[in-house]
Amino acid sequence: MCSNMPSVNFSEITTSIILETGVTQSIPKFFSPREGADRVYFLDSSAHGLETIPEDILRMKHLEELHLEKNSISFIPSGIKNLEHLQVLYLHENSLESLCDELGELHQLQCLDLSDNPLTSTEETLRPLSCLWELQELRLYNLGIQEVPILMCKNVYNLQLLGLSGNQLSSLPKEIVNLTKLQEIYLQRNLFEEFPTVLCQLSNLEIVDLEQNAISCVPDEIALLQNLTKLFLASNRLCFVPQSLSQCSRLTYLDVTANYISKVPWNALTGLVELALSYNRLRILPSHVGKLVFLQVLYLKNTGLRNVPSHIRQLSELRVLDLSQNRFSTFPVAVCSLPRLEMLSLDDNKLTQLPADIKQLTQLKSLGLTGNRFEIFPEEICFLPALEKLYLGQDEGLKLTRLPDTISMLQSLKELYVENNSLTALPAAIGTLANLNILDCHNNQLTELSEGICNLQGTHKCCVCARVCVCSGEIESQPFTTLYFGIHLLQPYVFSEVLVGNSKDEDKACKGEQGKKKMTNRQKVVNVFFENPHPGPHRLYPS
């Protein structure tokens, strides 16, 4: 392994070593400390197929940070206690079934991750953790823990981050109040039916994550969390957002996606910067939404909305707005008065046209209009000077039959998605889009590739899955990195021998003489797919 290595004096290594892929069951001898001056502080041996912790590692007494995650280590040897200076230890995604007592002797350990191991997660098994007094970050994800060890809550009082997501917790012990320095707690995917009120006594909490539980209400005591900045309660059973959140003066992020909420105390949320309310039962967006003057991100996907109040224009800081999967039959014109808006999704509504006022969105970079009812391409889009991503795919119903020449005005455009329409040709004007990186028009009715395609100097991914039978220009010099063609009704002379595909029909498809003339030496093409890469059209915010 080392025969081709340059001459290096390994005794001079005093800071860190990251093992290269291929090192498995032992550490090379030259990595072992030989003299008093040899000090290794950092070692990364993650994802190396280790089944045990090598003795050579256990002799690195100055080690401060050790990465052993994503191996097959089944036990922690008693020699771990020799790493008395260790501060960071990652052992997640291994095969650990128990913890040795000596782990508790690492009294300088500040960060420990034991997630995703087949541990028998009883209080007795986790007892060594209660001796790690200096621990500041502890991650115990996906271990099947049913109860948080009481002794750990009493002794590990310096803890600032506690990760317990993916377990079987239904409550927290009252002793958790001893963790007075706790700032972040992650309790996703557990069995909570009630908000653990005991958390409200931890006044230093900044982040509380209780997503994907079965919580039906938030207690008024949450007002005690004066330092709370982020609250994650998505995928629970909430019917309302508590008014008491108004007293959490530092709260800037609230996620209550996928609940049963029909009313929101907008007056209580005036300090928010980001609010996620998608997949709830709002039906109406009241004028009070205009009071969230600091809001930059607002998700309202699938909330039953039919219109947007004019007061939304007061959200002058708003940059991201998701109104997809609602019931809009007309474009909410008030949105056009949001001067800083950069991303707007109206996918899967019932829009048939866009207002001329949309050109006021001079900062808009991404626009999602997939799954609406446009009969013709809404040319108002072409007056958006900053637009970089445009989604105009279709699932069913009305489909676009052409793209206008005015599309050439979108000189900032980088990604264009018009899949699942009824386009028979692409305009030559598309070749003027100098910044276009992705063009996806699969599942259309294209019968030729125009010179517009051939002139796309910046395009790296071109997806044309359809009845392509004629290419009217030379495309051998174009810098595509990914090129898609539909195998159904594919004419064999489109491709040349130099292209590498992944279809059983690729040999047949690459033998045409005409294809050789047009596409030979397309060295930039690195991926060619002979079937549709996506089952349906793209959306700005996929479900």
pLDDT value at position 538? 86
**Residue corresponding to tokens 């800037």:** 252
Look at the chain and count its residues.
543
Are residues 305 and 284 in contact, defined by beta-carbon separation less than 8 angstroms? yes
Q: Closest by alpha carbon to 134, among 111, 165, 167, 161?
A: 111
Domains of the chain, earliest start first: 388-543 (3.80.10)
Rounded to whole angstroms, the Cα distance separating 197 from 76 reads 36
What is the per-residue pLDDT across 331-372, written as a single tens digit (0 to 9) for each?
999 999 999 999 999 999 999 999 999 999 999 999 999 999
Query: Residues 33-51: pLDDT tens digits?
Result: 444 446 899 999 999 999 9
pLDDT score of 203 more than 60: yes
The rounded percent of the chain whose pLDDT value lies above 90 is 70
Whose CA is closest to 326, among 310, 353, 308? Answer: 308
Closest to 214 measured CA to CA, from 197, 196, 198, 238: 238
- pLDDT tens digit sequence for 96-139: 999 999 999 999 999 999 999 999 888 899 999 999 999 999 99
pLDDT higher than 90, residue 456:
no
Per residue in 119-128, pLDDT (tens digit) is: 988 889 999 9
Which of 214, 224, 234 has its CA nearest to residue 168? 214
| pLDDT the model gives residue 358 | 98
pLDDT in tens, 382-401: 999 999 999 999 887 789 99
| pLDDT tens per residue, range 296-309 | 999 999 999 999 99
Per residue in 262-307, pLDDT tens? 999 999 999 999 999 999 999 999 999 999 999 999 999 999 999 9
Question: What backbone torsions phi and psi does residue 388 show, to the nearest 5 degrees?
Answer: -115, -30
CA-to-CA separations, 114 to 46, 97, 327, in angstroms, rounded: 13, 11, 46
Q: What are phi and psi of 480, to 5 degrees?
A: -65, 140
Per the model's pLDDT, the better-predicted residue between 292 and 501 turns out to be 292
pTM summary value: 0.84
